[in-house]
Structure 1
């Protein structure tokens, strides 16, 4: 998912980055960048992913096994943390674009993440920072003290803020180092390869060390990887092209349109193009002669009245007058919001499955052979592998075949629709597998782990294939349809969808817990399969909602 988003970011940033570089050719700093920055940027990425995924993918197991947190509560905490790591990129992108620039945001975020990982490692090493050990699921387990919870949550919060603030900003800075599209393409091919490899290593090797050797050693390796990443990044400072923050956030321009249209709500509409303001640079050819008729109430923001312009033709007060292009940009966002909202409800079942699958794995036989046992937190690797394999197949085989058969490439909305269907199939598969697991567990009272965890693979493979369709579709749609000033933060907006989905998934789980008995602390006493059936139905309803939105949506920049 992340790799696809970053690749789209690189492609769409190319034009703006190149133009900015050309404008700064007289500045010596513009000569920086290029391939010499590759080992520094990629090394930073590898270290951050090794450190981040090493603790994040095994968080539920750590909470249950070392902090005596009840399994469902641990799943809820994991959802919140995943939500944070997906929401913080938005904040990081806004700060980088509007205030500090990418270098400062990455440096500060990496340091914050390092601090969080050091504290997290201490919770696993120092006995005073965690409760007394006991058998998992025992009623005699002692809950953590308030101080222990505070230290734990502070460490998780710092690690989440740092990881979220850095991982997407690293991609933006990497794209800034290259002028030519060909160089960017080659760079990101290796960049994504490094990201997938580091994700695989952290979700398997580091998680295995945490489960079978020592939590302290595992978290220590995460902190060490983060420290090395920060050191590598700072060593490359003199080689980087340092982007300059934009003058103000593009979101402020959106606010200008809304406020101006409200302040001029009593002014009559005009059909004459000369009554509207097109910008001080006179580039009225960029938009239609008059604002479009859709969402006409916003058009008043571009209507010129006495006192709106200075003598030189510039805007006197941006909160009373906006350019037509600004108005049309806001309209584009309003049109795409329904489709954007459908992606939230597409991600909620995935977020629920992400945490509950770990609980299923803990109650299943995870042995492969007589000596190797799959760490429950490593099951996420199946989704990663599935997505990695599916992406090139879709790009090199399915899309060209589709184009030969239909004469056109599959549109972003078609890709998203396929992702919806695969997501529903995955949830239904999860329900069937869990139903069978419960029957086996209840028929084998003396051996509740009788069912192999390998039965969880099909549902995870389907999730991965679905992500290979719908996440690229979403990113492609947003970048091609969003206003140009907002394209640099569109990847972060996609991450926001995931963050919101994780938060809403916690609300769904809390609701299910309060009105049903399906989510017991011991999942063998509950009905987790019913939860999956509920999210399957929700997915079907959301698919219907998406189809309606897609049918009425008209592309602005993408051919139908």
Structure 2
């Protein structure tokens, strides 16, 4: 196994010491730390809605909204973490800082469960008048959410990047990623079942205390491997170069464009005879960013003012992102119904019979693990059976667009099934209301929620890998390390959009009251079906018009 360290003129470690850094010797420390940190995050995030309702007297829809905001934040943070790691601190420092932040947040969250002064008085049985949390209690609670979600998001994908950087060979990196995602699904499953069960049936303090312990152990395991890691040096974020394209193009907006290649800046090592084809004319406004002007270049060929002149490759990279943006936006509207469904399904489960036998009751926060299980199972089935069958029938491998398209269809079917199941639940709830005024639990098994969650899981098995493949293939080379993190960005934005959509529905309809037995949640799901169909049509148009990036050469789109 090659354990050599990439040449680094500024490295102060000896060659013999460098050879001992990186490779598989670091695997137990990185994957062990990731497992513990994931367990800590899944243990509190999966049961967040139930905690807010039962311990803080938050109304059901409001609890779902808070959960969406927290989940959205934890999925947006990885992008900022990647930028900070690439530009300033490096992956190691970002992981350490993020883990410490999440530790503080989890300690605060555990204290809200352990100290009565940090929680409102519990509601009396049968009473609709419950004490709301004080400003101090809200401040501690929300502060804990911010710190815990920020720390969790900051370490999650940064650990993946650092782990892959320990290897030189692509096949070793591929094996690492396989273990990374297996660990993520397996440990998330444990957190969303075992830890959630402890929180519901033993005590919230003990369950959240386990999350604190897991986070601390993960941080300790990571620190123990410090002397073995290959530390990546910050190279500067590629997003800075993209921002420079916009600024430079605006500054030169009045400059006339040229059709000559030599009038554009490639880089100071490129000779005129080696110039590539002329810049593409698509989105040609941004070509001005690479147009050379007097005073832009130093005598040695380097740029005088980086925010006034960019290279042709930076401009073309920026155009590539613009080209893929419509396709990327369809994924946001694909994930938004899933985000809404995840929180609303927990509320449905709280009103249904969750018993399996006489002695076991499914925690409401654990109901969503069906998505994780079905995704994990069908990823194998899709890879081993569906794709080979597809290839035998069509003599071609399915394209990323086709995989994502199947995910769109399954997503619409899932929302339709959700609407039908909710219609049945409401009929039973209304029939029960006329017979028994006292019970809010509908005599309908929560197992009825499984089909819709299984369909979501199968859909994710198609569209998430398809999106990763598409972004990795189409994104500029300088942004390929960020391409996989785009999934996290999509999920984060979708949670915020789902929050806004739920709020809009509550404002203009009476479908989502605090007691969903008195509302029309089935209508909400039908709205998501319509949105899914429209978004699928939008997706088909984008896929039809999209032209794959030619990775072999620069194409002159003006021809």
Same fold by TM-score greater than 0.5: yes
Shift in alpha-carbon separation, 1:390–1:24, aligned structure 2, 3 A:
farther
Moved more, 150-159 or 317-326: 317-326
Residue 469 of structure 1, aligned match among 435, 446, 462: 462
What corresponds to 1:279 in structure 2?
Answer: 267
The separation in 2 between residues aligned to 1:408 and 1:426, in whole angstroms, is: 28
Pairing of 1:469-488 with structure 2 (within 5 A): 469-488=462-481
Asked whether the equivalents of residues 68 and 136 of structure 1 are also in contact (C-alpha less than 8 Å), the reply is no
Any idea what the Cα deviations from partners look like across 1:298-335, whole Å, max 9, x if unmatched?
A: 11222222222211111222222221111111110110
What corresponds to 1:40 in structure 2?
Answer: 29
Q: CA deviation at 1:201?
A: 0.9
What corresponds to 1:429 in structure 2?
Answer: 417
Shift in alpha-carbon separation, 1:195–1:253, aligned structure 2, 3 A:
same
Q: Secondary structure at the match of 1:451?
A: strand
Residue 525 of structure 1, aligned match among 518, 523, 531: 518
The answer to whether the aligner puts 1:224 opposite 2:217 as a matched pair is no
What corresponds to 1:549 in structure 2?
Answer: 542
Q: CA deviation at 1:20?
A: 8.3
What corresponds to 1:116 in structure 2?
Answer: 105
Q: Secondary structure at the match of 2:268?
A: coil
The separation in 2 between residues aligned to 1:401 and 1:507, in whole angstroms, is: 41
Q: Secondary structure at the match of 2:77?
A: helix
The separation in 1 between residues aligned to 2:478 and 2:188, in whole angstroms, is: 32
The separation in 2 between residues aligned to 1:536 and 1:372, in whole angstroms, is: 34
Pairing of 1:327-406 with structure 2 (within 5 A): 327-406=315-394
Q: CA deviation at 1:490?
A: 2.3
Asked whether the equivalents of residues 93 and 169 of structure 1 are also in contact (C-alpha less than 8 Å), the reply is yes
Residue 445 of structure 2, aligned match among 432, 449, 452: 452
CA RMSD of aligned residues (A): 2.1
Q: Secondary structure at the match of 1:542?
A: helix
The answer to whether the aligner puts 1:294 opposite 2:282 as a matched pair is yes
User: Normalised by the size of structure 1, how large is the TM-score?
Assistant: 0.93
What corresponds to 1:95 in structure 2?
Answer: 84
Give every structure 1 segment of 4 or more consecutive aligned residues whose post-TM-superposition deviation is greater than 3 Å: 17-20, 22-30, 135-138, 283-288
Q: Secondary structure at the match of 1:450?
A: strand
Any idea what the Cα deviations from partners look like across 1:1-22, whole Å, max 9, x if unmatched?
A: xxxxxxxxxxxxxxxx999825
Moved more, 285-294 or 96-105: 285-294
Asked whether the equivalents of residues 258 and 298 of structure 1 are also in contact (C-alpha less than 8 Å), the reply is yes
Q: Secondary structure at the match of 2:99?
A: helix
The separation in 2 between residues aligned to 1:297 and 1:144, in whole angstroms, is: 54
Shift in alpha-carbon separation, 1:43–1:286, aligned structure 2, 3 A:
farther
What corresponds to 2:253 in structure 1?
Answer: 265
The answer to whether the aligner puts 1:197 opposite 2:186 as a matched pair is yes
The gaps in structure 2 that reach 5 residues or longer are: 553-559
The separation in 1 between residues aligned to 2:98 and 2:240, in whole angstroms, is: 25
Pairing of 1:489-528 with structure 2 (within 5 A): 489-528=482-521
The answer to whether the aligner puts 1:170 opposite 2:159 as a matched pair is yes
The gaps in structure 1 that reach 5 residues or longer are: 1-16
Asked whether the equivalents of residues 5 and 230 of structure 2 are also in contact (C-alpha less than 8 Å), the reply is no
Q: CA deviation at 1:81?
A: 0.4
The separation in 2 between residues aligned to 1:52 and 1:369, in whole angstroms, is: 30
Asked whether the equivalents of residues 518 and 530 of structure 1 are also in contact (C-alpha less than 8 Å), the reply is yes
What corresponds to 1:5 in structure 2?
Answer: none
Greater relative contact order (Cα 8 A, min sep 6): structure 1 or 2?
1
Q: Secondary structure at the match of 2:309?
A: coil
Residue 75 of structure 2, aligned match among 76, 86, 93: 86
The separation in 2 between residues aligned to 1:553 and 1:123, in whole angstroms, is: 51
Q: CA deviation at 1:419?
A: 0.8
Q: CA deviation at 1:172?
A: 0.5
Shift in alpha-carbon separation, 1:409–1:137, aligned structure 2, 3 A:
farther
Pairing of 1:247-262 with structure 2 (within 5 A): 248-262=236-250
Shift in alpha-carbon separation, 1:218–1:286, aligned structure 2, 3 A:
farther
